[in-house]
């Protein structure tokens, strides 16, 4: 089990300084709520900045409220924010229309919105399909305002070919837009330019053959295109990667991974990739979906900084970080780390980590053994990132509940299998702690598979 813990009790002055009043704070995989306190339902979507008005950011995505597996069209949600910190629900901007290809018995997934300068309008593309995924189409809708009701123009197959998982991308320098989509029964991955209106495809630019890739997204950095993707594996997270080219028509490089092999992009799938041109720096932001394959409505999100080192990209693994959108600057949040070895977990529950986990030991969690610690920091609302490994089956979510000073905490952490690898993952749980609080973390659904907790990282919420 591997982890990247800071030493216990060490705080980063730079991180503390970065927590400006208007900075956005992110805790990857934590449930996100809007300004009304409701779960954000914007899965598989994108975030763009309005071209008119106050320059606010708008987040579009699938509403999967109440859905378990699969699910048909409820609506495309829209949220508004000035700083990525608080998101105000704007309602459904695309709604089901009875007896059409976007009725509530159909599939509408991966909605993406771009601004078309020629027509001064916003254009939405999405994967449109039958409930059994047999139609494999794209759909198009338009609106003169970014948060208005989008007028559905129809579904079709690009160039007569099937299309499933997809995105659209607008070149910031040329204004040319592209459809990037899985085709040929999901085997191929194709790039097509769009017409001047962004209503239809214009010309195929490049096709990757036999790669079985999906969840595309694009960064353009220093004149090169970085095409992100996820290998196909249902709702299960995979090792996201990218290709590089100096033209959307290729030639494209072989794949490079965004995160260490076996980390599965920290249990996420690429949704959209956002370039923020701040007053001080240009920042690259990854938005990933953390799919709960058996409870889609409870799926969460993860925002991660993308690091560009002059030639390659990587996701920055962090349990908590902050972003000043206006400036384009970011930093990790300070945390207090408590390893299994320096926790109050009973010695009989600790096991030696053969591959050098922090502290040299981990807590072996079963139905009767728990991870416990005494909180020695300041009182207040916290986010506790539980660092663990669990080599279970695909989509085998486990749950950890907590008691604080003997009182059960409502809700629990949702932890997913790391699929038989030894790279530690993180799952957050919000807790309110007092100085000296006794915390007990308990595995609620032990299935006999070894579940090891390396420790916890505690952040101020």
Query: Are residues 437 and 394 in contact, defined by beta-carbon separation less than 8 angstroms?
Result: no
CATH code (residue 226): 2.115.10.20
> Which of 332, 353, 370 lies at the terminal end of a domain, its last residue?
332
Question: Which of 144-148, 252-256, 270-274, 421-425 shows the lowest per-residue confidence on average (mean pLDDT)?
Answer: 421-425
* pLDDT tens per residue, range 383-437: 999 998 888 878 778 889 999 999 999 877 766 655 546 688 899 999 999 999 9
Report if residue 2 sits inside a domain.
Answer: no
CA atoms of 343 and 458, how far apart (whole Å): 13
Looking at residue 5, its pLDDT comes to: 31
Note whether 160 and 202 are same-domain residues: yes
- The average pLDDT across 77-93 equals 97
- For the cut 80, the answer to whether the pLDDT of residue 89 exceeds it is yes
> Which of 283, 317, 332 lies at the terminal end of a domain, its last residue?
332
- Count of the separate structural domains present in the chain: 2
* pLDDT tens per residue, range 178-228: 999 999 999 999 999 999 999 999 999 999 999 999 999 999 999 999 999
- For the cut 80, the answer to whether the pLDDT of residue 127 exceeds it is yes
**Nearest partner of 1 among 220, 262, 191, judged by Cα:** 262
Note whether 179 and 56 are same-domain residues: yes
CA atoms of 70 and 361, how far apart (whole Å): 40
- The average pLDDT across 282-291 equals 97
Report if residue 235 sits inside a domain.
Answer: yes
Share of residues in the chain with pLDDT > 90 (%)? 81
CA atoms of 355 and 185, how far apart (whole Å): 41
Share of residues in the chain with pLDDT > 70 (%)? 92
Note whether 93 and 234 are same-domain residues: yes
Note whether 127 and 241 are same-domain residues: yes
Residue 85 has, within 13 A of its CA and on its CB side, a CA count of: 15
Report if residue 365 sits inside a domain.
Answer: yes
Looking at residue 416, its pLDDT comes to: 62
- For the cut 70, the answer to whether the pLDDT of residue 15 exceeds it is no
> Any idea which residue has 């660092």 for tokens?
387
**Beta-strand relationship, 121-129 and 107-116:** antiparallel
Note whether 175 and 310 are same-domain residues: yes
Looking at residue 360, its pLDDT comes to: 84
Full residue range of the structural domain in which residue 408 is found: 336-460
**Nearest partner of 139 among 168, 99, 175, judged by Cα:** 168
Residues 101, 105, 110, 114, Cα dihedral to 10°: 40
> Which of 302, 332, 362 lies at the terminal end of a domain, its last residue?
332
Report if residue 380 sits inside a domain.
Answer: yes
Note whether 320 and 359 are same-domain residues: no
Q: How confident is the model at residue 97 (pLDDT cuts 50, 70, 90)?
A: very high
Note whether 385 and 312 are same-domain residues: no
Q: Kind and range of the H or E element at 14?
A: helix 13-18
Note whether 351 and 265 are same-domain residues: no
Note whether 124 and 185 are same-domain residues: yes
Query: Are residues 36 and 364 in contact, defined by beta-carbon separation less than 8 angstroms?
Result: no
Report if residue 134 sits inside a domain.
Answer: yes
Helix (H, G, I), strand (E, B) or coil at 349: helix
Note whether 31 and 148 are same-domain residues: yes
Note whether 402 and 322 are same-domain residues: no
Residues facing 225 on adjacent strands: 220, 245
Report if residue 12 sits inside a domain.
Answer: no
**Nearest partner of 401 among 441, 433, 448, judged by Cα:** 441
CATH code (residue 423): 2.60.120.260
**Residue 68 backbone dihedrals phi, psi, to 5 degrees:** -105, -95
Report if residue 1 sits inside a domain.
Answer: no
Report if residue 251 sits inside a domain.
Answer: yes
Note whether 322 and 350 are same-domain residues: no
């Amino acid at each position: 089990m591997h982890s990247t813990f800071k030493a216990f009790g060490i705080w980063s002055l730079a991180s503390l300084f970065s927590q400006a009043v208007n900075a956005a704070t992110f805790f990857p995989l934590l449930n996100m709520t809007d300004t009304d306190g409701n779960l954000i339902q914007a899965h598989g979507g994108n975030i763009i900045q309005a071209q008119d008005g106050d320059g606010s950011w708008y987040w579009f995505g699938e509403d999967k409220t109440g859905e378990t597996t699969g699910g048909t069209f409820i609506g495309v949600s829209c949220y508004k924010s000035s700083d990525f910190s608080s998101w105000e629900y704007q309602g459904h901007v695309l709604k089901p229309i009875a007896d059409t290809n976007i009725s509530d018995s159909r599939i509408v997934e991966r909605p993406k919105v771009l601004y078309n300068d020629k027509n001064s309008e916003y254009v939405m593309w999405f994967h449109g399909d039958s409930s059994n995924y047999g139609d494999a189409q794209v759909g198009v809708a338009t609106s003169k305002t970014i948060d208005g009701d989008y007028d559905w123009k129809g579904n079709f197959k690009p160039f007569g070919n099937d299309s499933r998982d997809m995105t659209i991308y607008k070149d910031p320098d040329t204004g040319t837009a592209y459809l990037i989509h899985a085709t040929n029964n999901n085997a191929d991955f194709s790039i097509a330019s769009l017409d001047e209106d962004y209503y239809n495809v214009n010309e195929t630019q490049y096709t990757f053959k036999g790669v079985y890739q999906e969840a595309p997204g694009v960064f353009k950095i220093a004149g090169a295109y970085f095409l992100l993707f996820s290998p196909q594996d249902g709702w299960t997270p995979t090792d996201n990667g990218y290709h590089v080219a100096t033209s959307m028509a290729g030639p494209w490089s072989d794949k490079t991974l965004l995160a260490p092999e076996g980390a599965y992009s920290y249990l996420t799938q690429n949704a959209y990739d956002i370039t923020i041109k701040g007053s001080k720096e240009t920042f690259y932001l990854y938005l990933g979906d953390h799919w709960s394959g058996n409870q889609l409505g409870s799926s969460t999100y993860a925002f991660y900084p993308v690091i560009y080192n002059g030639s390659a990209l990587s996701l920055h693994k962090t349990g908590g970080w902050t972003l000043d959108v206006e400036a384009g600057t970011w930093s990790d949040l300070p945390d207090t780390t408590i390893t299994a070895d320096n926790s109050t977990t009973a010695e009989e529950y600790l096991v030696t980590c053969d591959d050098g986990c922090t502290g040299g030991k981990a807590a072996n969690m079963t139905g009767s053994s728990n991870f416990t610690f005494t909180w020695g920091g300041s009182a207040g609302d916290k986010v506790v990132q539980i660092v663990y490994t669990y080599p279970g089956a695909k989509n085998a979510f486990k749950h950890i509940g907590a008691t604080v000073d003997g009182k059960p905490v409502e809700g629990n952490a949702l932890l997913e299998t790391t699929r038989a690898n030894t790279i530690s993952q993180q799952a957050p749980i919000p807790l309110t702690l007092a100085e000296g609080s006794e915390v007990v973390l308990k595995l609620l659904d032990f299935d006999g598979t070894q579940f090891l907790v390396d420790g916890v990282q505690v952040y101020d919420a």
